[in-house]
């Protein structure tokens, strides 16, 4: 059953990547070597790291980038908590995915692809739960053999539940788990590997 769920999540993620984006991609996300993680803090003292099992993304020749996150693939290492996050927090029936879009300077990408290590503050738009917010993401770009790119956050991005209408979901999680508090501010980190599109 778990393997069927994973296959379904992967197929959904592929469908969420628009064909027009894939057609002009300069680099495609290597999902096996990429991660988006977030930290939940409960009872003001206990932090836990979570992530997602299904990511799809690309960077275009003009620097336009998109990352699609299948929210149904959330991984907290506890099955019942995964289910609660899908149903109570993300409401994946209505909002199955989140996306991050950005536009980087093509010259910056070209330099990184040739082996340079560069840092840049890049405005990224996060679309989550039917809302959008633009955040400034401090990113490190590292060029690797064969023109591959690694992109990772220089420091965590802080995502506030209230900005995306997730307060009720956080409160529902707190209540069902019998906790005193769950922080509404969530640190998010990115570690993405892109390979040249074929």
| In the predicted structure, residue 66 carries a pLDDT above the cut 80 | yes
Of 188, 162, 190, 182, the closest CA to residue 38 belongs to 188
Per the model's pLDDT, the better-predicted residue between 5 and 159 turns out to be 159
Q: Which residues contact 4 (CB under 8 A, 6 or more apart)?
A: none
Per the model's pLDDT, the better-predicted residue between 68 and 147 turns out to be 68
> What value does the mean pLDDT of the chain take?
89
Answer CATH for 2-14+25-196 from 2.40.128.110, 3.40.720.10, 2.40.50.100, 3.90.1150.10: 2.40.128.110
| In the predicted structure, residue 144 carries a pLDDT above the cut 80 | yes
| In the predicted structure, residue 61 carries a pLDDT above the cut 80 | yes
pLDDT the model gives residue 24: 52
pLDDT the model gives residue 77: 94
112-139 per-position pLDDT tens digit: 988 899 999 999 999 999 999 999 999 9
| In the predicted structure, residue 72 carries a pLDDT above the cut 80 | yes
- Locate the domains of the chain by residue range: 2-14+25-196
| In the predicted structure, residue 12 carries a pLDDT above the cut 50 | no
| Cα 57 to Cα 195: distance, rounded to the nearest angstrom | 11
Mean pLDDT confidence for 164-181: 97
Per the model's pLDDT, the better-predicted residue between 7 and 173 turns out to be 173
pLDDT the model gives residue 173: 97
Read off the pTM.
0.85
In which residue are the tokens 């922080």 written? 183
| Cα 141 to Cα 196: distance, rounded to the nearest angstrom | 15
| In the predicted structure, residue 3 carries a pLDDT above the cut 60 | no
């Amino acid at each position: 059953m778990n393997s069927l769920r994973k296959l379904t999540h992967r197929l959904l993620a592929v469908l969420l990547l628009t064909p027009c984006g894939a057609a002009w991609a300069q680099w495609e996300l290597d999902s096996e070597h990429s991660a988006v993680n977030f930290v939940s803090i409960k009872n003001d003292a206990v932090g836990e790291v979570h992530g997602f099992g299904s990511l799809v993304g690309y960077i275009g020749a003009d620097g336009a980038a998109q990352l699609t996150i299948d929210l149904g693939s959330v991984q907290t290492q506890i099955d019942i908590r995964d289910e609660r996050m899908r149903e109570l927090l993300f409401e994946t029936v209505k909002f199955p995915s989140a996306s991050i879009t950005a536009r980087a300077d093509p010259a910056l990408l070209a330099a990184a692809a040739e082996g340079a290590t560069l840092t840049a503050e890049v405005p990224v738009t996060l679309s989550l739960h039917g809302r959008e917010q633009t955040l400034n993401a401090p990113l490190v770009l590292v060029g690797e053999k064969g023109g591959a790119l690694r992109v990772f956050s220089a420091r965590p991005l802080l995502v506030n539940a209230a900005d995306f209408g997730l307060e009720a979901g956080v409160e529902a999680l707190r209540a069902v788990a019998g906790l005193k508090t769950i922080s509404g501010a969530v640190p998010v980190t990115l570690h993405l590997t892109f390979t040249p599109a074929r």
